[in-house]
Structure formats: structure tokens, C-alpha cells
A and B are shown apart, each in its own frame.
Chain A
Amino acid sequence: RRGPRDALRPRVWSTTMSSSFEFPEFFEYPPYFTVQPNPDTQRKQTELWKSLILGWCRHHREFTVRVDDESLVLFRNDRIGRKLPTDARRFFLDALVSAGAARWMDDGAARKSRALIFWQSLGVWVTVLSDWAARNGLEGQVVALCEITGDDEVGVPTPDGFRDAPVEFVALVALELEKKGKGVFVPSDAGRDAGVKFF
């Protein structure tokens, strides 16, 4: 369980987590770290970066990507001495947003410094959440968002993939769940955290 102080500590994944991520071939070719002027080449380059961002986040169960995070290995290949400049990162993340696979998480989305990545489609996330609720007999109950992410003591294990997810992410899934008529998003108010009521 991660408390507030854990946010400052780096996350250590258990060794059973996964093998190291295999970067695709294009990651070794320097020009791919510059946004290409030729439209056909740029189109291909965008597709490659979109796939990489999604794949990397999926592998590491990473939900957010910070544009200014220089330590992010996703955007740099030290072996060839290239890293994606900030405007290029925004460019490819914008493409992901346009494809519905990401969302800017800033006030008014103007600054575009942090993006939420849907390495599974929102629809799939909703299914995972509602199936989990059904399996554990939570219909009719209000479950706090932090219970879904495992931040609070609950008698049941968290739904697959939701552990340690950012609250904004779970809120978005809850809203989508509501749109699909499978429940209601309960916003937070004094004395109570935000939650979801499952039907």
C-alpha cells in the first residue's frame, strides 16, 4: 500500500513483474527523434511513437507521462545520444489524445505537461471494473476510488491493473462507467472521498 510519502519514493516492481521492455527497431535510428518534415515519413513516425508510448506504459503499468521528465527512458536513447525534444513529445502525445488513447491532465489542458495514458481502451477498463464489482458482490454499494486503487483497506483484492493508478484515471473510468449505465460516479464532498456506486 502506498501512502502519501510513497509518492516521492521510486516505485520498485517485484521481480515477477516482467522482463525488461524491448524497444522497437526505430528507437535505434537517430532521425526518428526529430519530427520529420516529409508528411508520409511523419505519418509513419507518429504511428511508431504512439505504439511505443502505449506499449511501454502497458508493460510498466504506467498511467501518466510527464513531458518534462528528463529521466523518462521512454523518450531517450543514450546509446545513440538522442532524446525526443519537449515539443516533439507533446506532438506525439497529442496524436495519442486525438486517437482517444490519452488525455491531457492539466488545468484547461493548456500547459500539456502531463498526459494520462489509456494503454487499454476506456471501454475495456470499464468492463474490468464492472466485472470486478459483480464478482465481489459490490452492486448497490458505493466504493471509494482509493479502495479501487488499493490505497485503503478493503476486504477484496483490487481489480486487475487498477492498483496504484492515479485517482484522476479511476475517476475517468467511473465517468465512462456511468455513461454506459453500469453505475454512478459519486463526486467527493466534505467528509467523503469520491467513489462509484455500482448498479
Chain B
Amino acid sequence: PARAGVACLCEWSFSSQSWHGPTPPYAKRKMRRRPGIAGIQQRRDASVAIQAVGEDAERQSVEAMRAQLLKFRNSLEQFALKHKSEIKQDPGFRAQFHAMCANVGVDPLASNKGFWTELLGFGDFYYELGVQVAEACLATRDHDGGLCDMTQLMRHVQHRRGNAAQPISEDDLLRAIERLACLGGGWRVLTIGGKKVVRSVPTELSTDQNDVIRWASESGVGSITKSQLESTKTNGAPGWHKTRAQTILDQLVKSGIAMVDDGDAKTGERVYWLPCVSKRNGC
């Protein structure tokens, strides 16, 4: 269905699915945008050519990068061999080593077999730590509903490990938790009110619930009352409706994240405590 003028000048080639036509003299000059369907084809050819050049350049730089990374990886292995005992014994050094590995795309914990785990015993170390973390969180689950403050967790894990064990850092805990997360069960490290909280249950916190925990944390003591949630007086006070406040507080108690306290003689009001953000939470 081409226009009559074009049809008599060009031929449709079924093999290349394009028009071929006699090359008018003016096309022998430098390539320039041509009108019509031939022009489209020409532009298509040009972009393919440019792409080919670009791909080639990219391939070369990728090769160069691969070679560089391989060099890094070898240096890293030499480094690990040389500093093996420091990596095992010094948590700070170990954390920096992990960062170095991450920079060159090496994951020493990627599998339980292989160079890294055999050389450094990382697999066993982080596996054992993961078990200790899981046990600690399980032990406090009836107390904090599955949300455990990172500092508390560190204390519990160190207590389980005993004094003779290798020292560990928060970085180590985070890596162990990362591995636990692969097993399912909802393991995640949340940040609430600027503090790290380890979640060991699959329940997601709603925005309101998250906010309540955060405000309890910001209060400094890790507790909150319904009045505080309803309040509009101070800066940043949420000013919630009382039904909303009560609903969220009840939800938190139901999921075991909050505990109730009717012993506040000063206010006579029920106080809700959040063990996951209380400094001294009785555990």
C-alpha cells in the first residue's frame, strides 16, 4: 500500500523486510537524514552501527573491570590468609574485612563450603551465632512479643556465649540475623526511634503501632499512656482520637509487644510499657 511514486522506484525485499531502491546520486554524499521509508532504514542502520561500537567499548571495559576485580579478590585472599587470627578474634577488624569483601563483590558467607568458610571458619561461627540469637529471642518472646532491642540482644547473646568465647560485635549479630532471615520466620532488623530493634516474628507493625513504639522510645523511659496519645498540647503530640489510641494500644498488648501497668499512683492511669525500647526492661 505504498504511494505510487515510491512504488515505482523501490523494491520490497522479503528477506530483509525492507525497501531497496536505486540509490539516487544525492545519496552518495555524506550520510544525512533522508525522508521517507529509506530514511528510516538508514537511521536504523546507523544506530545499529553505533550500538556495535558502544558494545565493543563496553566489552573491553567490562573485561578490564573483571581483571581488576580478580586481582582484588586474589589480594583479598592473601590478606585473609595473612590476618586470619585477627579476623577471628577482633570484631572491629572482622567488620572492616566484611566491608572490604563487599566492595569487591565477595560474600564470605555465601555458602557453607568453599574457600572462605574453610579458611576462616566463618560458616560455623555465624551459624552458631545465629542459633544463639534465635535462642535469645525465643527466650524473651513472652516478654517482648518478638521485638528485642539490639543492645539487650547483645547482652543476652554474650551471656549465652560466656566469657571464654570469641568477642563479637553488633556487626556480627547483624550478619547472623541476615542469614537467619533466609530461613524465613520474619527475621528483620527494624529501626524505631533511631534504635535498632530485632524482630523475630513475621508480624508486620502498622504505621500507628510503629509510631506508638517510637513515641514510647522518645519518652526516654519506654512507656506511654492513652492520654499522651490523645494530647495535643505539647509539640509533636499526636492528638489521636481516644478510640484510635485505645485500639492501637490494645493491639500492641494482644501481640505481646506492650505490657500494662496499673500501679502508677501519680496519674492513676494505665501505663503501657514497651520492653523493646525500655532501657531496663526486666529481662
- Chain B binds chain A: yes
B138 within 8 A of A: no
Q: How far, in angstroms, from A191 to B9 measured CA to CA in the complex?
A: 141
A-side contacts of B259, CB under 8 Å: 31-32, 34, 36, 38, 41
B261 with A31: CB separation less than 8 A? yes
Known: A25-B283, A41-B143, A41-B256. A34 touches B263 (CB 8 A): yes
Contact with B along A19-60 (1 / 0, CB 8 A): 000000111111111101110110110000000000000000
Stretch binding the partner chain, chosen from B20-28, B32-40, B273-281: B273-281
B271 within 8 A of A: yes
Shortest Cβ distance from residue A81 to the other chain B in the assembled complex, whole angstroms: 6
B282 with A26: CB separation less than 8 A? yes
B-side contacts of A26, CB under 8 Å: 282-283
B-side contacts of A81, CB under 8 Å: 263-265
> Which single member of B253, B263, B280, B283 contacts A82 (CB below 8 Å)?
B263
B-side contacts of A38, CB under 8 Å: 253-254, 256, 259
For chain A, the count of residues having a C-beta within 8 Å of the partner chain is 21
A30 with B271: CB separation less than 8 A? yes
A44 with B142: CB separation less than 8 A? yes
A197 within 8 A of B: no
Interface centre among A25, A41, A43, A85, by most chain B C-beta atoms within 10 angstroms, is A41
- Majority-rule SS of A interface residues: helix
Shortest Cβ distance from residue A78 to the other chain B in the assembled complex, whole angstroms: 12
Q: How far, in angstroms, from A26 to B275 measured CA to CA in the complex?
A: 11
Interface centre among B223, B254, B256, by most chain A C-beta atoms within 10 angstroms, is B256
B-side contacts of A33, CB under 8 Å: 261, 263
Give the nearest-CB partner of B259 in chain A: A31
A40 with B283: CB separation less than 8 A? no
The residues in A between 69 and 91 inclusive whose CB is less than 8 angstroms from any CB of B are 81-83, 85
A-side contacts of B223, CB under 8 Å: 30
Give the nearest-CB partner of A80 in chain B: B263
The residues in B between 125 and 168 inclusive whose CB is less than 8 angstroms from any CB of A are 141-143, 145
A36 with B260: CB separation less than 8 A? yes
Q: How far, in angstroms, from A41 to B254 measured CA to CA in the complex?
A: 10
Shortest Cβ distance from residue A27 to the other chain B in the assembled complex, whole angstroms: 7
B-side contacts of A44, CB under 8 Å: 142-143
Q: How far, in angstroms, from A30 to B263 measured CA to CA in the complex?
A: 8
Give the nearest-CB partner of B273 in chain A: A31
Q: How far, in angstroms, from A31 to B275 measured CA to CA in the complex?
A: 10
Give the nearest-CB partner of A82 in chain B: B263
Known: A30-B261, A34-B262, A83-B263. A25 touches B256 (CB 8 A): no
10 sampled A-B residue pairs with Cβ under 8 A:
A25-B283, A28-B282, A29-B275, A29-B283, A31-B282, A32-B282, A34-B263, A40-B256, A41-B145, A41-B256
Beyond the given pairs A29-B273, A31-B260, 11 more chain A to chain B contacts, judged by CB atoms under 8 angstroms and listed by A's residue number, are: A27-B282, A28-B280, A29-B278, A30-B223, A34-B262, A34-B263, A36-B260, A40-B141, A40-B142, A44-B142, A83-B263
